[in-house]
Structure 1
Amino acid sequence: MDLATFLVQCLNAVQYGLLLFLVASGLTLIFGIMGVINLAHGSFYMIGAYMAFVLAPWFGDWYLTKLVAGVILAAVFGYLLEWAFFSFLYQRDHLQQVLMTYALILVFEELRSITVGNDVHGVQAPSWLAGGFRLGELMSYPWYRVFASVACIVLAVALYWVVNRTKLGMMIRAGASNRDMVRGLGIDIQRLYRIVFAGGVALAALAGMIAAPLSSVYPNMGGSVLIICFVVVVIGGIGSITGALIASLLVGFVDTFGKVFFAEFSGIGVYLLMAIILIWKPEGLMKQHGR
């Protein structure tokens, strides 16, 4: 492998890992704070990808405006979904949570089939991000992939700032540590849950919108993302944003370079990584203390 190929694979690994982080960060917040096993989280990624397809004719080359509109729609949808369904799951056992959220997957897939159909769709990157820059004499790297990585880094920094430097973040961290204490201090825990859930849905949908031009938009696309995101959450530590970022990048590199060097066994690389880390640190890389 020459240097240019190695650099391309590194960039691909970082870009894939950062997109995973956007989805997994919402999942780890919902799981860590609300205690809900949300199997429907991958569907929010799918919804974001289909929003990118549906909204494309309305916004044209106003790509950033489309992303903002999609995030707002996804956040409102998440807020209403928490009020209508998830608010009834907090005191239920995990089996009921799994059954309820799995039922939502089926509902979302059926609604997707009715409204958009079962065809595979492509979403074109904006013209101002067309082309790429050269890496070596024969290889180039698309500008859109660079944009996707930079956007994810900006969002990761913003998310870190919100969680660690704001009053809302303080309440989120307290809720992840001890929800009864938060409730006893007079904080509206129900409202906090809805904000966290809406934010998680918006992050997953935004990841789907950013990923749509990189791959096709197709039915059941949230299933594989959900599985790998649960792996990220388990490796990073439930409820930890920093852990989710580290785990996402690890998974990105293992998956990308596994396909390059061990193509026949690439499917097990990520799960082998998870097994090794859990043997070493059963609570994940960044353990959250107390509940």
Structure 2
Amino acid sequence: MVSDLVPWAVTALGGVAYGLLLFVVADGLALIVGVMNVMNLAHGASYLAGAYLACWLADGTLTGLAVAVLAGIAAAAIAGAGLSVLLKPLAGHTEQAAVTLGIGFIASWAFTRLTGGNTLSPPRPAILDGHLSFAGHGYPVYDLTFIVLAIPLAAGMYLIVRRSMAGIRLRAAVDDPLMAAAQGLSVARIRTIALATGTMLAVTAGVLGAPVIGPGPGVDSHVLTLSLIVVILGGAGTNIRALLTSALLVGMVENIGVATVPALASFSLFLIVIAVLVVRGHRQAVSAA
């Protein structure tokens, strides 16, 4: 009986790793969309950029992986700052969505041209390239390591956004920019830092998550769609716990769905999204009545 449950446990553990990867990406998107109120549809392209960096710079060592992460952080800081300047004159979500969607398409096209449209798989660090056996079923050590790394990241983001002075200033700049400016806070600077940080999270997730979701055509759109779902289900705000819960839910549904009935995986996910949003809307309508 126990042996029959092991494959499901291994699949569920894969769902946790997948969900935590989505959490890191969605955390950056929530910061940009939910907190800074900027519609960034190029977020999936940021993940894709990080994943390609992992393929080009990682050499199967922890040092190579670290170099890819640092290169990704540097590139993301520049890209986020540039995005802030580009979007500064655009106040409406429609204009922001059109511009960032165009940036995402151009980036995806460029990566496809550079790689010939092939799906790549970066080498995992040799020390993490193995499997742990559970009753005859193997599970990648790298995925377990990612789980271990993502958990303190979730806790750290919660403390930064909800407990730190930087988080307080960020929320103040969004909630009442005029009052924040009157208190001596640079709203433009906070906006730039937030956009750069959100982009860094997506790129870093791409570097570390490339062995889980490898770079290739359509990956940026897939990651963007799932991240948007996580942010919508999580409430699109600074509630890190809600965001983490929704990311784990999406990861579980995706991973278990693909492992059991691949044709219905996306159907099941969107069915859950529809149900959650309808119930949430009904509750809000009742509360407002």
Q: Tell me which moved more, 64-73 or 271-280.
A: 64-73
If the length of structure 2 is used for normalisation, what is the TM-score? 0.88
Supply the RMSD in Å over aligned alpha carbons. 2.3
2:245 matched to 1:246?
Answer: yes
Per-residue deviation, 1:152: 1.2
The residue identity in structure 1 corresponding to 2:15 is A
Deviation at 1:184, TM superposition (A): 3.4
2:186 & 2:24 partners in 1: Cα distance?
26
Over residues 128-182 of structure 1, what are the superposed CA-to-partner deviations in whole Å (9 max), with x where a residue is unaligned?
102121101x211110010111111121111112112211111123334333432
- Looking at structure 2, the residues matched to 277 and 176 of structure 1 have their Cα atoms a distance apart, in angstroms, of 27
TM superposition shift of 1:260 = 4.1
Residue identity matched to 1:246: T
Distance 2:46 2:278 in 1: 31
CA apart distance, 1:52: 0.7
Structure 2 residue 107 is matched with structure 1 residue 108: yes
Tell me the TM-score normalised to structure 1 length. Answer: 0.88
Please state whether the residue corresponding to 2:138 is helix, strand or coil: strand
Q: Distance in 2 between matches of 1:235 and 1:268?
A: 16
Find the counterpart in structure 1 of residue 210 from structure 2: 212
> What does 1:15-164 correspond to in 2, within 5 Å?
15-57=17-59, 60-89=61-90, 91=91, 93-136=92-135, 138-164=136-162
Do the aligned partners of 1:19 and 1:207 also contact (CA within 8 Å) in 2? yes
Q: 1:33 to 1:216 in 2, by over 3 A?
A: closer
Q: Write the letter of the residue equivalent to 2:235.
A: G
> Is the contact between residue 182 and residue 189 of structure 1 (CA under 8 Å) also seen in structure 2?
yes
- Judged with a 3 Å threshold, the aligned counterparts in structure 2 of structure 1 residues 5 and 198 are, in CA distance, closer, same or farther, namely same
Q: How many residues align?
A: 281
Query: Is the CA contact (8 Å cut-off) linking 2:122 and 2:211 kept in structure 1?
Result: yes
Cα offset for 1:7?
1.4
Distance change >3 Å, CA 175–CA 283, structure 1 → 2: farther
Q: Is 243-252 or 257-266 further displaced after alignment?
A: 257-266
Aligned-partner residue type, residue 46 of structure 2: F
* Offset of residue 254 of structure 1: 2.0
CA distance 1:260–1:121, shift in 2 (3 Å): closer
User: Which amino acid in structure 1 is aligned with residue 101 of structure 2?
Assistant: Y
Which deviates more, 192-201 or 217-226? 217-226
Whole-angstrom distance in 2 between the partners of 1:75 and 1:104: 14
Structure 1, 71-80 or 102-111: larger mean CA deviation = 71-80
* Cα offset, 1:64, TM superposition: 4.9
